[in-house]
Chains A and B, each alone.
Chain A
Amino acid sequence: MTSRLGVVAGVAGLIVIALAGAAAPWLAPTGPYTPDLGARLGAPGGAHLLGQDTLGRDVLARVLYGTRISLGVATAAVGLSLAAGTVLGCVAGYAGGWVDEALTRVIDVLLAFPGLLLAIALAAVRGPSLPNVVLALSVLGWTGYARLARAAAARALGARPVRIVARHLLPLAGPVLLVQATFGMAGAMVAEGSLSFLGVGAPPPLPSWGAMIDEGRPFLLVAPHLVVFPGLALALAVFALQLLGDGLRDLLDVRLDGAGRMTPS
């Protein structure tokens, strides 16, 4: 597949997913919290296209509303990480000296740690809630952007700060940061799902895809649709972002180095 086609397909996929989330009230037969205790674990088909869950809630409605949680958390986490990382990276790259040294050490330690584990610990200490998930993912997520921005800042030395950032730094670092943010979105969506699956992310009854999969697990044999559909929705979103990221990387000519981190070429 050519990279241009990948970008188009990825963007199209993301638009469809975002629209599905936005139009959830019109697309879903019921609300995401409407119980129907007489029809618990109802099979897919009829009025309930994707079936019903443990409380008889419509799975399609919950998958559609779940889009908002998944995309919302990922957008917020990546936005915060990108902003914080870019600012800190620029400051470090421009200031140099001990400021740069200190920031590099902090990044090294954060990168030397399994991110998901730290997010689990953080979410566990602060309790399950969506803002805490965003916080946990951002506390860990900014390092990649800071590294890239720092590398660009160090290259753009020699002019006055504001001018550097506006005229040189952002054009220089922009493409790399964009590609990193695309893959970061996919990572954040999977991480939100993982945290919610483990019970330290979105609290019930929120229709997070990860939480839905966890809720459906005990009923795997009798109602596999509870697990299958939320997972497919997440896989689809990650696939679209992956296509977009791969395509953008090739189009913008951003190289991945061996360590899986991106460097400006």
Chain B
Amino acid sequence: MGTLPGRRLVLLLPTVLGVVTLVFAFLHLLPGDPVEIMLGDWAAPADAVALRRDLGLDRPLAAQYVRFVGHAARGDFGQSIAFRAPVARVIADRYPATVELAIAALLLAVGGAVPLGVLAAVWRGRALDRIVRLVSLAGVCLPSFWLGPVLMFAFAMRLDWLPVSGRGGLAHLVLPAATLALGMGGILVRLTRASVLAALGEDYVRTARAKGAPRWRAVGVHALRNALVPVVTVLGLQAGALLAGAVITETIFAWPGIGRLVVQAIQARDYPLVQGCVLVIGVTYVAINTAADVLVRAIDPRLAEPV
């Protein structure tokens, strides 16, 4: 059956096809006429007929589906109404900004959460543990569409330390990345702490200590390697969730990425663009989850058998 990552990649195909089908079903089977929405109430009937033909909406549903899948497979998502340009190009222009924001948030969340979670576990019940647990719970509970404006108010408007919005240098990245990272960081801290605590009670850690390994080595090498397995799994799921969170964060900070683009497309009633954005984000999400899955199996040989 080939190598494991190979098998996982084969399984990726039906899932991606499922995502494409789901997007098609959402936009074509639900009530609502895209042509009417795009042209408004005052459109000439001839224009409506022409647009319907251009979008292929006058064909049978099955034919539309085959055409949709075929075009999507070649990266052709049609023409954006609002931008008067190919949807693929509009998305390609915005995609790097979202990737930049997501990677920054990911680094911030992991870089902050894993060390804090480990320290909280090692010093369980002490002051640091209590503070870390409180902050992480706040991170889980505070919605990003509230946290973003509050951070903006405090650090950009009142203290004037950072730019209010837009994309530019590193300073522009701080607030959006922090907003996007906090929810994920909260989950990761709680998880890291719990799984390090569990690992610290295991025999192999006690054995390592008994054989003379220093405490930092027992924690940092023996406990952490096993404790990180669930963390990486959740990281994969959360990295995908970052894309959904980017819709809100990018809207707050006027960050020119695909998340803000999809909101603009909805407001402009730009059907082909909405469809393209949802599809691209969905496929990216699936790809990230698959990558995380392969990574987890690489770390933990116990999971290596069934896919």
Contacts and interface: CB of A to CB of B under 8 A. Distances in A.
Contact size range, B: 35 or more
Interface stretch (A26-34, A105-113, A144-152, A163-171): A105-113
B262 A117 contact: yes
A220 B18 contact: no
B40 to A, nearest CB: 15
Contacts of A109: 15, 18-19, 21-22
A125 B153 contact: no
A115 B244 contact: yes
Interface in A215-249: 216-217, 220-221, 224, 227-228, 230-231, 234-235, 238-239, 242
A165 to B, nearest CB: 30
Interface string B23-35: 1001100111000
Contact of B248 (A110, A194, A258): A194
Interface string A201-218: 000000000100110110
Contacts of A194: 143-145, 248
A230 B146 CA distance: 9
Contacts of A125: 26-27, 30, 32
Scoring B30, B138, B145, B286 by chain A CB atoms within 10 A of each residue's CB, the highest score goes to: B145
Contacts, number: 133
B72 interface: no
A224 B286 CA distance: 38
B112 to A, nearest CB: 19
A242 B190 CA distance: 13
Interface in B24-53: 26-27, 30-32
Contacts of A210: 143, 145
Scoring A120, A199, A230 by chain B CB atoms within 10 A of each residue's CB, the highest score goes to: A120
A213 B18 contact: no
A200 interface: yes
Contact of A120 (B21, B153, B247, B285): B247
Given A220-B153, A221-B153, A227-B146, A112 B251 contact: no
Interface in A96-110: 105, 108-110
B192 to A, nearest CB: 12
Given A115-B244, A193-B143, A217 B27 contact: no
A220 B281 contact: no
A218 to B, nearest CB: 10
B198 to A, nearest CB: 12
Nearest to B233: A258
B146 A126 contact: no
Interface of B: 14-15, 18-19, 21-23, 26-27, 30-32, 137-138, 140-147, 149-150, 152-153, 157, 229-230, 233-234, 237, 240-241, 243-245, 247-248, 251-252, 262-263, 266-267, 274, 278, 281-282, 285-286, 289, 296
Given A112-B18, A235-B143, 15 more contacts: A105-B14, A105-B18, A113-B286, A114-B282, A121-B26, A125-B27, A125-B32, A194-B143, A198-B247, A199-B267, A210-B145, A220-B149, A231-B146, A238-B143, A260-B237
Shortest 7 CB-CB contacts between residues of A and residues of B: A231-B146, A109-B18, A114-B244, A258-B230, A116-B244, A197-B145, A124-B266
